[in-house]
Amino acid sequence: MVSENVLGKPKKYQGFSIDVLEALATYLGFKYEIYVAPDHKYGSPQDDGSWNGLIGELVFKRADIGISALTITPDRENVVDFTTRYMDYSVGVLLRKAEKTVDMFACLAPFDLSLWACIAGTVLLVGLLVYLLNWLNPPRLQMGSMTSTTLYNSMWFVYGSFVQQGKRQT
């Protein structure tokens, strides 16, 4: 990136890529001059087969090397040589390692405790009402059928209806 230009001084570039370039220049003993591609683009193929931007500057040998946060694509690799990536910005997600404890009541987690209490109260209340209605007005049974209308059976009937379990008639 370009640092601020103060009092007409020449532009000064800074950043990781510039640090790498300066280290290479010191180590290999060469001098360099930085300029920006005239069209301020990274480089893409044109309709006539030529390239624009930084890649075009390299293809037409107006620049010896190009330093940029440039994506390596197969099209670009066909016309210029790239170094291996030296800085990679990939997205990573860190998660805390799960504890290996087994919770016996994990099945209750989808609902709040107050909702579970309301469900249990509803099953008890409706079961009690079913028992009372059967006791006050017993159904007329056919000869030989055995149906017990105890409070226990009424509660199981309501619970089975609530969780939709039981024998299904076809």
* 73 located within any domain: yes
Quick check: 32 and 22 in contact, CB under 8 A?
no
Mean pLDDT of the chain: 82
10 CA to centre of own chain: 44
pLDDT tens string 6-49: 666 666 788 888 888 899 999 999 998 888 888 989 889 999 98
* 102 located within any domain: no
Domain count, the chain: 2
* 60 located within any domain: yes
pLDDT at 121: 93
Q: Report helix, strand and coil shares of the chain as percent, to nearest 5.
A: 40, 0, 60
* 151 located within any domain: yes
Same structural domain for residues 70 and 117?
Answer: no
Same structural domain for residues 74 and 20?
Answer: yes
Same structural domain for residues 72 and 119?
Answer: no
Residue 19 structure tokens: 């640090």
pLDDT at 25: 92
pTM above 0.75, yes or no: no
Q: What is the mean pLDDT of residues 135-160?
A: 75
* 168 located within any domain: no
pLDDT at 29: 93
pLDDT at 23: 92
What range does the domain containing 24 cover? 16-78
* 48 located within any domain: yes
